[in-house]
Amino acid sequence: MAKRITAAALALLLCASLLLFALAPNAEAVTFTVVNNEILDLASDTQPAFIDGRIFLPGSVFGHSALGVIMAQSLQQIFLYKDGKSLTFSVADETVKDQDGNYYNNIKPVYLNGRIYVPLDFVCVYFGFTFSYITSSSVAPIVRIKYGEVLSDSIFTNAATTAMQSRLSKYEESIAPPSPSPTPTPTPTPMYYGDVSIFLAVTGLDAEITPELLTLLESYEARACFFMTDEDMDASPDLVRRILGQGHTVGLLARGEDEAAEWRAASAALLRHAVTRSVLAASMGGDGAAAEKAGLRLCFASDRDVVSEESGYGVVEATERMLAADDRETVIIETDAAAPAALEGVLNLIKLGSFDVRVMLETSELG
């Protein structure tokens, strides 16, 4: 059973960092966020928030490549992972959970302006980063996260003055960062999950959304299996042929209880529009029991978690399962308005972790 971390234990963990912020002055109208020696764009998704004497940052800031953190997020949660340790911040129930199922009672995320903010001190201490709140800059205060050997705060502040002034006056796209430190900054050890095979499945077809998904898959050099009903294929036969032409596979999809009939109809539509057949089948409404009798290979049924706009299962949950997989995992994405962002998040994680992406075939051993 997951245990709760007491306030006393957490106070011991964070006492040094909390002393810093107890003395911090009130925030100015604009505060720069810096990772190592890089000034982040002066924008709403990088601006810190000062709440009850504590500094909060949008959780997405910790996804910066120099920190070596894998980040995934949805509207309700943000997930941070590094070197076997993870934190899941949930704004729905205001909880923070680590990889062992421990909950931190007096730490909670904050939802501001459509973004999930997390406490800077807690995240830095947990993952082994250091941080500073610099008020000596003549331009604006600086919140700085540091990992590895970087310029001292005083040297960085002096070197960054011109760049900060330019960004403040324009408040637009960033200019060239300050000159790099003569001391080389170590490159974080890349994540590696090359022994874990990922199978990508997409359910449904849409004339506007599916081309976006195909473009994303092409840009990441990944292949997927598109599971479709006969109605999907009849509505967009050109897309069916494009899917096959780009090296993806096609499966038969049933959404109702009469799986066998729907699979037969989908098979006929596939033969009609693409002059090919498939033995890969999936069911969103039944249990898939009819697949074997129909001579089909059941890839997943309704009990599988599907990333969709309406379900409570999203990119964060899919990320957790991929990182926890021993040898293989199947990620299923429903074609809806949220699908492009979900697929891009999954593909980013695959790229960062060097996962082995495999196309679904009749002989594939699926996770």
What are 11-26's pLDDT values in tens digits? Answer: 434 443 443 343 333 4
Which H helix or E strand runs over 273? helix 259-274
Mean pLDDT check: name the lowest of 76-80, 104-108, 268-272: 104-108
> First and final CA of the chain: distance in angstroms?
26
Here the tokens at position 66 are: 């120099």
DSSP of 282-342: EESSS-STTTTTTT-EEEE-TTS--B-SSSS--HHHHHHHHHH-SSEEEEEEE-STTHHHH
Q: What is the mean pLDDT of residues 36-43?
A: 89
Specify the CATH class of 197-358 in words.
alpha beta
Task: Give ranges for CATH 3.20.20.370 in the chain.
Answer: 197-358
Query: DSSP states of 147-180 as a string?
Result: -SS---HHHHHHHHHHHHHHHHHH-SS--PPPPP
d(CA 67, CA 189): 10
pLDDT tens column, 295-338: 999 999 987 789 998 887 888 888 888 988 889 999 999 999 99
Residue ranges of the chain that CATH labels 3.30.457.10: 4-170
Enter the tokens of residue 152.
């001292």
C-beta separation of 171 from 42 below 8 A? yes
* Out of 33-42, 125-134, 165-174, least confident range: 165-174
> Do β-strands 197-203 and 225-228 pair in parallel, antiparallel, or remain unpaired?
parallel
pTM of the predicted model over 0.75: no
Identify the weakest region by mean pLDDT among 186-195, 221-230, 276-285.
186-195
Q: Is the pLDDT of residue 209 over 60?
A: yes
User: What is the structure's pLDDT at 320?
Assistant: 87
pLDDT exceeds 50 at position 9: no
pLDDT at 366: 77
Q: Which DSSP string do the residues of 95-136 spell out, in sequence order?
A: EEEETTS-EETT---EEETTEEEEEHHHHHHHHT-EEEEE--
Distance of alpha carbon 254 from alpha carbon 265, whole angstroms: 9
- C-alpha to C-alpha distances, 284 to 106, 225, 232, 320, nearest whole angstrom: 41, 15, 14, 23
Q: Which of 117, 94, 100, 118 is nearest to 1 (CA)?
A: 100
Q: What architecture (CATH level 2) is domain 4-170?
A: 2-Layer Sandwich (3.30)
In this structure, the number of other CB atoms found within 10 A of the CB of residue 131 comes to: 20
